[in-house]
């Protein structure tokens, strides 16, 4: 498991102020063990109630004095949060001190994303370990039509969107195929074919033994650009789902240190009938599909260039929402039952055999541990 960078942005809270030290926050694992990297979400109102005298604070590991990546996240619903990226030690307990600090502002972001005008209206986003993209209306006019989620593979904890597009554009300008982002340059490459599939966790409506899917997204709304959380919403134009006209809004959140997007999808339509939205992963020829405990999907695929190793994709259901797994033709599906306006949340992402997921067993273990952590969130308490 790779370590999360701690040379990151300290959080700035605008509260009244002059003291130089604040209270201590103690995190504990329910099972007393270490965990995968994760983001602690604290209500901003709660943090303010404990740190009344601090104007500028940073969160630090009390044992090592390392600054922890932190962000104030302004949610669309107004229940703003303080996010802290943590790696729980094997002891299952972590103490965090909040210190007076002006020196961390301007630290290195751990997430990034943008519209890529180099390729019409690609929208790409990433953290240190994974990169994803979706396709907009300008690309739809060229015949590149899909509401699936594309992915790039990388083996180093870098943000690569700008460099990949820059090198690819230079390769096209100079007719140098070695600069294409479809060629592994030692950092990674694009060797995943989305096509009409759901890619890495796209959705559709399962009805009459068929998956009914939308075209490219029509509207994008940014919610957060980091440094710890990247979040945005996509809206899809109405489409026919076996006789019912549906629309979809997706909220996609990618945090630092994880392989998985947290995706909340909402379908709207006229009528009281329950529909079955499904989250999909394509199963390519030669690939291996594992349904895990009926709550996870794991696919181990051969990429477009077989020399590029193996690409892992996965879906993890939220523990609080009923779901089932099935296979339809060449796609693994996580299936839900919802009414119009009712949201459901799932986690979808990827790994690479030439990165930090060398085997499908390692990927399966990652998905299972993620599900267990969602079932058993961290406890926290404040100490003076």
- CATH number assigned to the domain comprising residue 26: 2.60.40.1180
Cα separation, 90 vs 67, in Å, equals 19
- The residues, ordered by sequence, that sit 6+ positions from 146 with a Cβ below 8 Å of its Cβ are 135, 194, 195, 196, 197, 199, 202, 215, 216
164 and 99 in a common domain: no
Does residue 381 sit within a domain? no
User: Residue 107 has what pLDDT?
Assistant: 56
What pTM value is reported for the model?
0.92
Cα separation, 337 vs 33, in Å, equals 35
Give the number of domains in the chain: 2
Strands 260-268 and 343-352: antiparallel
User: Residue 119 has what pLDDT?
Assistant: 85
Domain span at 185: 111-375
pLDDT 10s digit of each residue in the chain, 384 long? 433 433 333 444 433 333 344 589 999 999 999 999 999 999 999 998 998 655 678 899 999 999 999 999 999 898 999 999 999 999 999 999 998 765 554 458 999 999 998 888 899 999 999 999 999 999 999 999 999 999 999 999 999 999 999 999 999 999 999 999 999 999 999 999 999 999 999 999 999 999 999 999 999 999 999 999 999 999 999 999 999 999 999 999 999 999 999 999 999 999 999 999 999 999 998 999 999 999 999 999 999 999 999 999 999 999 999 999 999 999 999 999 999 999 999 999 999 999 999 999 999 999 999 999 999 999 999 997
Three-class SS state of 303: coil
Chain centroid to CA 180: 25
261 and 171 in a common domain: yes
Does residue 136 sit within a domain? yes
Cα separation, 336 vs 98, in Å, equals 42
User: Last residue of a domain, which of 72, 88, 108?
Assistant: 108
122 and 89 in a common domain: no
185 and 97 in a common domain: no
289 and 149 in a common domain: yes
User: Residue 13 has what pLDDT?
Assistant: 43
59 and 166 in a common domain: no
90 and 32 in a common domain: yes
């Amino acid at each position: 498991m790779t370590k999360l960078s701690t040379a990151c942005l300290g959080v700035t809270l605008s509260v009244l102020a002059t003291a130089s030290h604040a209270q201590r926050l103690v995190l504990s694992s329910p099972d007393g063990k270490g965990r995968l990297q994760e983001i602690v979400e604290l209500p901003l109102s709660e943090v303010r109630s404990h740190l009344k005298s601090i104007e500028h604070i940073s969160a630090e590991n009390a044992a090592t004095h390392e600054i922890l990546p932190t962000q104030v996240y302004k949610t669309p619903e107004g229940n703003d949060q303080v996010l802290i990226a943590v790696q729980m030690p094997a002891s299952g307990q972590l103490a965090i001190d909040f210190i007076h600090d002006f020196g961390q502002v301007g630290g290195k972001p751990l997430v990034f994303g943008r519209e890529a005008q180099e390729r019409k209206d690609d929208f790409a986003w990433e953290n240190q370990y994974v990169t994803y993209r979706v396709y907009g209306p300008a690309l739809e006019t060229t015949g590149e039509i899909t509401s699936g989620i594309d992915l790039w593979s990388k083996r180093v904890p870098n943000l690569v969107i700008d460099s990949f597009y820059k090198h690819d554009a230079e390769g096209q300008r100079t007719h140098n195929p070695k600069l294409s982002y479809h060629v592994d340059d030692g950092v990674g490459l694009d060797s995943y074919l989305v096509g009409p599939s759901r890619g890495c966790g796209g959705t559709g409506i399962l009805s009459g033994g068929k998956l009914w899917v939308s075209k490219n997204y029509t509207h994008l709304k940014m919610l957060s650009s980091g440094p710890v959380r990247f979040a945005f919403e996509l809206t899809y134009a109405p489409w026919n789902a076996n006789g019912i006209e549906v629309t979809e809004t997706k909220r996609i959140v990618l945090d630092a240190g994880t392989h998985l997007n947290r995706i909340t999808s909402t379908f709207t339509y006229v009528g009281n009938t329950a529909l079955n939205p499904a989250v999909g992963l394509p199963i390519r020829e030669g690939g291996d599909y594992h349904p895990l405990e009926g709550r996870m999907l794991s696919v181990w695929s051969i990429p477009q260039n077989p020399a590029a190793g193996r690409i892992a994709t996965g879906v993890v259901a939220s523990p609080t929402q009923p779901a089932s797994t099935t296979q339809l033709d060449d796609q693994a599906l996580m299936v839900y039952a919802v009414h119009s306006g009712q949201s459901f949340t799932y986690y979808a992402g990827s790994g690479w055999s030439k990165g930090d997921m060398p085997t499908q067993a390692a990927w399966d273990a990652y998905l299972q541990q993620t599900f267990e952590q969602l079932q058993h969130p961290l406890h926290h308490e404040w100490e003076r």
